[in-house]
Each structure stands twice: as structure tokens, then as C-alpha cells.
Structure 1
Amino acid sequence: MEKSSNGKLPFRIKLGYGSAEGAGSSSWNLIYIFLLYFLTDAVGINPALAGSILMIATLWDAFTDPFIGIISDNLKSQRGRRRPFLLIAALPFGITLWLLFTDFHLGFAYHVAMVVLFFTFFTMMNVPYQALGAEMTQDYNERMSLVTFRSWWMQVFTLASASLPMVFVQVFGEALGSISAGWSAMAAVFGAISILLILLTWRTTRGYELFPENTGFKLRDIYDVIRQNRTFRYTLGIWTFSIIALNFVVSTALYFFTYVMGFGESMTGMAFGVLIAASLIYLPIIDYVAKKKSKRIAFIIFAAFWGVLSVVLGLTITGPEDSTIFWIGLVTSGAVSACMVYQLGWAMIPDVTEVDELMSGQRREGLYFGVMAFIQKIASALAFQVIGIIMAWVGYQPAVTQTPETLLGIRMLMYEAPVLFLIIAIVIAYFLPMTRDKHQALCEILKLKKEKKEYDITPIKDLF
């Protein structure tokens, strides 16, 4: 055990912990940036039906999240509660990612089956992985630091998974004789890398597990954590609405680049590359503001920045003739949106688990991360379905010149639609009761409670 008494983590541990996020983020981006396009333009599935595949997948993922979290909370193992899931899920995670982008000409049912299988193993890896981070340190700022390392991995592999797939598809497609084979080979590469990244986290985090003695579960706990934990309800709202806003951008971006800006494969890859490379610049800035002010204030500042610029860009970008404004927007509003939602959301969620520990006497990180993922993905599934329906409604047809009405619809999905959800998230963040001082006071009270000493919850009563 290498844990320090003050909750600080060594550099190599934080770096190694983040690697599994490379697998999660690259696969997530492959699915939510490219799968809809793959299904409509490569497989030939109707846009509304393709949107249904994503909705089914996301709903399945959502419903399994709380249960995997609960199982990991209650697992009794010499290797901890979370790490065994990483080891079990690593290989099938990579294999099913490859199969998801492999077209055996089996139609709609095949792609539904593959996406359900993939998300089963994605959840087995991702929920325990996120809960592990909350266990590794209970220090407010150190959690922000750990999440920033995780975010670096996210952005690097988001850069790779956003900018390289279309290049790989073209190169492998030419080498193997078909675009379909190119998609399959591209996914095989990312699948193999994902396996290695998950195993790296599994190995690096050894010795940083918690072994709580008091664990248990009742089915109504899934509902009670929302009803009884006021801080969690606010955090849940911030996370969910900001994720929906980001989903509109991510799912529409490829269509926007291709049809509004007129980009080919190489320029599309370049646009994604510039976006993610620019977002790396904002990671330390967001980290600094969150530590200096608070996670809540940082969220309000950067969400407002994203929203205001998004409105301006939506009104000024109409096509390739506005490329200068597009590139400026990409490295400002786009780059901030690409990192701030996850970086700040991931850092806020662990703090609510100490509120629950004071109320319940249990460490239930898995339950909380599972419920967060469940609510997020239910909302996201509906968002993806809405996007697919709107795309069909505005007359989108693959691989043809789009009508002005269709282009307007794509522009609004890209820029205006996310702002509605950002406004809601900002309002909720303004009223979030958790602060750095209150979290520190909460941890002190927990310490007194464990030592069976008297304590006063008056300074933090609004957290409950």
C-alpha cells in the first residue's frame, strides 16, 4: 500500500489510473461520432432506424449501470471491489468494439445485438473504474488533479479516435479492397489498443483499493440516493443537462463538417484533430480555476463561455465561405465543450459519496456512479433518438447534396440546440450546495464519527 496519509497520490499512479479512460473515450467517440454515420452511409440503414440502434444501446447501457455499480460495491475480493471488473471486461470489450463496426450483411438485428454486447462490457469496465477513482483519495483538490490526469488521457485518445478513424477507413479500405473492410480494420485497431489500456490501469492501481466492512444493498437504494441526498440531486442535474448539450454537438459534428462545411475525409480528420488538440490547452486552465475558485464556479464560467459563443457561431456560420469563423469557433467554444463537461463532472461526482457515507455509514461509490450513468444515458438515449428523427424530418439523405432546409437543421442541432440545455445546467450549478470548505468540514465530521466523538452537522446541513 503506497497511499499517503494526506490523500496525495504519486504522479505515476495518477497517470496509470487515467489510461483506462483512453479505452472508454476512444470507444465512446467511435460510437457517438461515427456509428450513426457508419450505419446510414456504409451499411445503408435509414437514419431514424439507425438512431433507434443508438437509443436501444444507450438504454441497455443505462439499465445495467446501477446494477454493475451495486455489484462492485458489495464484491468481496483480495483485489478490491473494482479492479477485478477491469480484468474480466478487458478482452471482450475490445472484441465487441471490433464486431460493432464489422458489417456481415445481417442487417438491423445484428447491429442491435453487437451494440448491446459491447455496452455490457463497457459498463463492466467503466462504472467500477469511475468508482475506483473516488476511493483512491478523499481530498477535494486531489480528486480534481486525478480527474485532470484522466481528462488528459481522454483528450489524447479522443483526438486519435476523432481524427484517425476516417483516415484508417480509407487506407485499410484501399488495402483490403472495400470500405466495409476498412471500417472493420479500423475498429480492430482501436479494440486492441483498448484492451492494453484497461489492463494498464488494472496493474497500476494495485494497492489503492478500499475494503469497507459495512456494505449492503436494498433495491430501493437506487431511488433513495436521489431522494435523500440533496447534493447528489444538484450534481445529477448539472451532469445530465450538460451531457445532453454535448451529445447534440458530438452526434451532429460529422454531418456538419461533411455537408455544411464541405469537408472530405482528410479535412474532417483535421477538424477533429484541431478540436481535441486545442482542448488540451484548456485542461490546466479549467483545473486551475476549479482549485482556485471551486468546481461549481468553474462550471458556470466555462459553460457560459461555450453557450454564448455557440449562439454567435450559429448565427454567423452558414457554409464553407465562413471557414475563418468556423476555425476560430472550433478552437474556442468547441474545444471548451470537448473537455469541460467531463473534467468538471467527473470531479464533482465523488464529493457526493461522503455525504452518503455520513448518512448511511457505507462507502457506495459504485451505486452513485451507476445511478449517475443511468440517468445520463436515459437522457442521452432520448437525445439521440430526437437527433435521428430531426435529421429524417429535415430531409437528410446520405451521400447527396443536402437541401437548404436540411443544412439549416444540421446547423441548429450543432449550435443552437445545446444552448437550451446549457442554460438549465448553469442555473442548477448556481444553486449547488457543495463547496471546498463544506467538503473539508464533511470529511472532518466523518473522521469524528468514526472515532465515536461528538460532531455538529450545522455547517453542512444544506448538503442533505
Structure 2
Amino acid sequence: MEQSGMIASQSNTRSEFSRIEGLALFLGCIAIQLVTEVMTQWGAYFYSPPSGGGSIVYVAIGLAGTMFVVTYIVSALSDPIIALWSDRTDTRGRWRLVPLEGRRRPFIFWGSIGVTITGVLYWHPPLAHASMLNFLFGTAVLCLHWGLFVSMCTTPFNALGPEIARTKEGRVRIGTWIAAGMIVGLAVAEIAPGILVDLLSPVRTEPLPEDGIVPVSPEGFQRMAILFSAVALLFFQFTVWTVRERYHSERQSVITPPLAIILQTLRNTVFLRYILIFFLFNLGYLAVQRVMPYWAKVGLHGTESTVSLLMAPYIVFAMLALVLTDRLSKRLPVKWMIFISLAIITSGLPMMYVIGVCGLSDNVKTLLGAALFAYCGIGQGMQYVLLTPMIGEIIDYDERRSGERREAIYQSVSGLAWKGAQALSVYVATLTMGFWGNSIENPTGIFLVGPIAGLFGICAMAVCWTYPVLHVARKGPGEE
């Protein structure tokens, strides 16, 4: 009897969503990485490359950071508005220009078109020298990109996972699809740009500068952006036309005013710990991402493609971590698996300084960097799987208290933590480099970002230690 119950449970888990829907979420995650990570990793670097390398500097390093800070502030304000709009949208799709039913897919449809346009425009600053006009142009395009179109894509998209998968087992499965997409997307977004910039750049006819540093090619970045934007549009549209939304607006029994919804969200102490964990962690971790092109070029004496080479072992071990996480989920609560993932990455970040200042050859440094990336990839792979079950439990807990399904508002408010961390991580990176140095002659500021990020990781681990173990599951449609 018990065995038959287990078989039935496994069957219900498998039937929660189809493989084509899992594939759609997988491709959608790749698209998200392409429209966000490429700009996060290379955006500031493109506008303000290291001085002394012969590249065009479009804005000063401080202004490059300010561009992104302004953008994340705008995005933080727009995310809850789009989330509330999506949560309250009539699912029947009447009187729409494109006849799409549901609360999520119409936003993804139009947002994906917008990010395609802004994802290309950003890499075409109007003047080929440092100018305030370039700063204003870049800031305006970034605000449209992140503050409007990315929010229209990501906030409704992230709400689909907890809505489609309703059991713990189903959410681990959907989380694995999402994690695989995030990792593959990260692989493409981190590995391919450096290679593509080199391949798509015009053939050099003039000799290298005396310092041997290859200048940044604007044409290479621009052509790369067109390619990635087109692929992201295709993947987003595949998601729009293949995923079936489960929620129907007429089922909603309680209507809460928008301001009250936000206040209720912020009074959820479990959720507050959740966002504090990832705010602190990402504050340092994203700062490390921002200095990676600088670290690879100045610390390892590489080119843009060196970042791509370093990311290869990171991606491989992140994919291997998916199997590890699936097995650990049968033995450990989500809380402790998140704690382990934080510990892995946090313990590795200070090694960026050690590798940068050691007197070893460039080849040995590159090998050590690859080993460090592989180690951190294990922790990142675990996090990608666990985020969906973790936020899903919080949303289920809220539904029991409020009587409403509010995936989008929880995703958007948690997104505020990410956006806040993104904004401040710009200053963690740029102020560290500005104070201690980011030039070829004085790279100390670049190397110090890793240890500083490790301190933020320790703070995140301390908060995670206090996070409760939740045992909340939402029943499927036929079980209510």
C-alpha cells in the first residue's frame, strides 16, 4: 500500500508539467542570462576599459558605475509595479492586440521585443571619446532595458515556476530545468562574448601598443550584441507559445489593495531573511563579476577571451552540481543546502587576490584561476536549483495566510534585493578599484574585490544560519 502511494506520488510529480514546458523554461532561462549577464559582465568594461590599453574610453570609471546604479534604482521601482500588474491581470486575454491568455505570457511577449532593441542600442554610444553625452545615452538605454523590458520578461517568467510545479518533488524537477538553463545561459553569456568579440572584430592592421594589451574593439561588441539579442528573442517567444499557465483569475477569493500586498510581503519574516541572505551574498559576488574582465586582463595578462576560458570549468562543475543537489535534497532541508552553497563560494573568493599578486607565470596563474572557478561553480550550480523550491515554499506559506497566489509580487520584491545588490556591487567594485587602483601599473584594487566579497558572503551565511526549515506544500488542482 505504501509502495503504491509512492508510485502514485511520483506519477503526479511527473504529470505536473510536460517536457516541452520544461524545455521552454530551460530556453527562457538562457534568454534571461543573455539579456542580463552579458551587459552586467561587459557593460561597464565596454564604456570604461582599463586605462593604458589603447582602447576607447567612452566615460570615466566612476560614471560607468553610476550608469548602472541609476538603472537599478529605476528597475527597483518598476519591478513591483509590473509584478502587481501581472498578478492582477485577467487571465482570459480579451481585447488584447495579440490574443494571449494568462497573467505572465503577454508581458514576456512584449518585453522580449523591447530587450532585443535596447540590447543592441547600448553598444552604440554616440561619440568615440569620453563624453557626458555617452553617459546620458548609456544611462537612458540601460533604464529602458533593465527598468522596463527586462522586468517585463523576468518577473512574470520567474513566477511561472512555482505556479507550474506545486509539490516539493515537482519544484526540485522544475528547479533542475531552470538551473540547467541558467547554467547553460551563463556559459554562453560568460564564455561566448570574449571569443565572439575577438572573432567578429575587424582584422587589425596597426601594431599592438607597447604594453602589449589588445585594445577593445567596439565593432566586435556590437556584432556580438546583435547575435545574442536575436537568440534571446527567439527563446523568449518559444516560452510564450509553449507554456500553459495553470492559474485562472476567477478562482481568486480575496482582493487585497496593492499597498497592503507590499506591506504584507515585507512583514513576512521568513521572506525578509531570504532576501537578506541573497542581498548580502550578491553584494560581494556581483562585484567580483564586474571586475572579472579587469582581473583576467591585468592579473593574468590575458584578453577578453581569457574570461571565456576561465568560465569553462566553472560551467562544467556547476552542471555536475545539479546531480549532487538532487541527491542532497532527499537528505537535507533546503536551508542547509543553501548554506553549503554559500560556504563553497565564499571560501573561494579571497583566492582572487592570492592568484593576482603571486609571482607565478601567467600560464600557472590561469590554471589556478580555472581551478578556482571550478570550485565556485559547484556552489553556484546548487543555488540555481534551490532558489525555486525555496521561494516556492515562501509563496505557499503566504497563500495559507492570505488566500491569494502572489508569485509575481514575491519574485519582484526578492528581485529588489538582487537589484539593490547589483546597484551597490557596482560601487563595491568601482570604489575599490578607484581607491586602490585599477590600472596595469597599479592593479591592487582589482585584486582586493575578491576578499571584500568574501566578507559579505560570511554575513550572508550568518543570516542563513537563522533561516527556519519550512514544510509547506501546495496541493495540485485536483486535490484542493
TM-score scaled by length of structure 2: 0.84
Does 2:153 align with 1:125? yes
The residue correspondences of 1:291-310 to structure 2 (distance < 5 A) are 291-310=330-349
Does 2:261 align with 1:221? yes
Does 2:160 align with 1:146? no
The answer to whether the Cα contact below 8 Å between 2:432 and 2:448 also exists between their aligned partners in 1 is: no
CA 1:141–1:239: 2 relative to 1, 3 Å = farther
The answer to whether the Cα contact below 8 Å between 1:51 and 1:388 also exists between their aligned partners in 2 is: yes
Could you say which residue in structure 1 is the equivalent of 2:212? none
Could you say which residue in structure 1 is the equivalent of 2:47? 39
Pairing partner for 1:410 from 424, 446, 451: 446
Amino acid at match of 1:133: G
Q: Look up the SS of the partner of 1:197 in the other structure.
A: helix
Could you say which residue in structure 1 is the equivalent of 2:120? 98
The answer to whether the Cα contact below 8 Å between 2:284 and 2:425 also exists between their aligned partners in 1 is: no
The residue correspondences of 1:393-408 to structure 2 (distance < 5 A) are 393-397=435-439, 401-403=440-442, 407-408=443-444
Q: Look up the SS of the partner of 2:107 in the other structure.
A: helix
The residue correspondences of 1:303-382 to structure 2 (distance < 5 A) are 303-311=342-350, 314-315=353-354, 317-319=356-358, 321=361, 322-323=364-365, 324-333=367-376, 335-382=377-424
Same amino acid, percent of matched pairs: 22
Shift of 1:284: 2.1
The answer to whether the Cα contact below 8 Å between 1:21 and 1:154 also exists between their aligned partners in 2 is: yes
Instruction: Find the aligned partners of 1:339 and 1:103 in 2 and give their Cα distance.
Output: 35
CA 1:63–1:288: 2 relative to 1, 3 Å = farther
Report the more deviating stretch, 186-195 or 370-379: 370-379
Q: Look up the SS of the partner of 2:48 in the other structure.
A: helix
The structure richer in helix per residue is 1
CA 1:157–1:54: 2 relative to 1, 3 Å = same
Shift of 1:316: 5.3
Report the more deviating stretch, 419-428 or 57-66: 419-428
Could you say which residue in structure 1 is the equivalent of 2:472? 439
Does 2:287 align with 1:254? no
CA 1:427–1:135: 2 relative to 1, 3 Å = same
Q: Deviations over 1:389-412 (max 9, x none)?
A: 221222324xxx231xxx232122
Could you say which residue in structure 2 is the equivalent of 1:424? 459
Structure 2: runs of 5+ lacking an equivalent:
1-10, 50-55, 93-100, 128-132, 206-215
Pairing partner for 1:194 from 228, 232, 251: 232
Could you say which residue in structure 2 is the equivalent of 1:454? none
Q: Look up the SS of the partner of 2:252 in the other structure.
A: coil
Shift of 1:250: 1.0
Pairing partner for 1:385 from 401, 418, 427: 427
Amino acid at match of 1:364: R
Q: Deviations over 1:206-232 (max 9, x none)?
A: 2544444234433142132111x2221
Superposition misfits of 4+ residues, deviation over 6 angstroms: 175-178
Pairing partner for 1:205 from 239, 243, 248: 243
Could you say which residue in structure 1 is the equivalent of 2:25? 17
Could you say which residue in structure 2 is the equivalent of 1:88? 110
Could you say which residue in structure 1 is the equivalent of 2:185? 157
Shift of 1:175: 6.3
Instruction: Find the aligned partners of 1:39 and 1:330 in 2 and give their Cα distance.
Output: 26
Matched residue count: 433
CA RMSD for the aligned pairs? 2.5
Report the more deviating stretch, 16-25 or 303-312: 303-312
Instruction: Find the aligned partners of 1:243 and 1:266 in 2 and give their Cα distance.
Output: 25
